């Protein structure tokens, strides 16, 4: 805490100017009448440890970590939660009173909370889940789906070896499907998740055929720019329940804000509007 008693927090990445986190956290500070500021910081990898070690002395109570530092920060943190270790990345830091850095990963929490809020009838145990992609976001999603009780996860990635690495880490409830067969695995799944950047503004489209989707399946995309991706729009036309990716961003921010500023914030329509400004 700074001498003025005003807690500070930041989002640290490179680049970071695109981040919606400052709009989100400053909205919550305002609506809850709390003192504090949340700022973006563009920090290069070589400077990351120096910056993180200096922040507690400047009144910072914590930080969010984004690309490309989510793995690197685990080498710097003094304490790491089990889920951050399992995922192999951290997105939320808490600076303890003695200056030590506590690292957590709230992406999986955000993912499941978004589904629970927007698809309250979702039954994770109903049938297998299908996951497209095998990067860092996929690891968080797989962790949370297994914790929620999904009996089996079918996973497909353009580079098969990355999907096989996830199976090696997470065990026999994961089954790797060749990318060219990814459309076929959707027929078995009541939960379908795109964790790739395909379909995002400025990225190539997601070309997996969706005609095998079960009517009534829950389909969600971690991409939120555009808010309704072509993947989600097609799934909706096929009678699926769709959940966009913005809610995951909002919900993953809740635990950090609560630890830093002492109030658990609400994820509501005003929160969504603030993030979309």
| Catalytic sites, residue numbers | 70
Phi/psi zone of residue 129: left (φ > 0), alpha (ψ -120 to 50 degrees), beta? Answer: beta
The structure tokens 């964790």 sit at 195
Which is nearest to 234 in space by CA: 249, 219, 250?
219
Residues in the chain: 277
Residue burial 245-260, b: 16+ Cβ < 10 Å; e: rest? bbbbbbbbbbbbbebb
- Encoding tokens for residue 207? 């070309």
> Is the peptide bond preceding residue 68 cis, with omega within 30 degrees of 0?
yes
Hey, CA dihedral for 148, 169, 12, 226, is it positive or negative?
negative
């Amino acid at each position: 805490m700074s001498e003025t008693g005003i807690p500070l927090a930041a989002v640290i990445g490179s680049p970071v100017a695109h981040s919606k986190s400052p709009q989100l956290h400053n909205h919550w500070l305002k609506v809850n009448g709390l003192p504090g500021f949340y700022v973006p910081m563009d920090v290069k990898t070589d400077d990351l440890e120096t910056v993180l070690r200096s922040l507690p002395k400047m009144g910072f109570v914590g930080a969010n970590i984004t690309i490309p530092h989510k793995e690197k920060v685990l080498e710097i943190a003094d304490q790491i939660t089990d889920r951050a270790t399992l995922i192999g990345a951290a997105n939320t830091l808490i600076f303890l009173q003695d200056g030590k850095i506590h690292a957590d990963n709230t992406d999986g929490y955000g993912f499941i909370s978004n589904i629970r809020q927007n698809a309250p009838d979702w039954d994770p145990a109903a049938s297998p889940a299908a996951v497209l992609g095998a990067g860092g976001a996929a690891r968080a999603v797989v962790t949370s789906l297994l914790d929620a009780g999904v009996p089996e996860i079918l996973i497909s990635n353009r580079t098969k070896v990355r999907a096989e690495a996830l199976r090696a880490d997470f065990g026999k409830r994961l089954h790797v499907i060749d990318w060219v067969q990814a459309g076929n695995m959707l027929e078995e799944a009541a939960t379908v998740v795109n964790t790739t950047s395909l379909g995002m503004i400025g990225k190539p489209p997601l070309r997996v055929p969706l005609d095998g989707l079960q009517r009534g399946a829950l389909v969600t995309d971690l991409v939120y720019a555009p808010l309704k991706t072509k993947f989600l729009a097609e799934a909706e036309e096929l009678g699926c329940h769709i959940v966009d990716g913005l809610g995951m961003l909002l919900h993953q921010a809740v635990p950090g804000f609560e630890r830093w500023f002492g109030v658990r914030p609400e994820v509501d329509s005003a929160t969504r509007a603030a993030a979309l400004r």
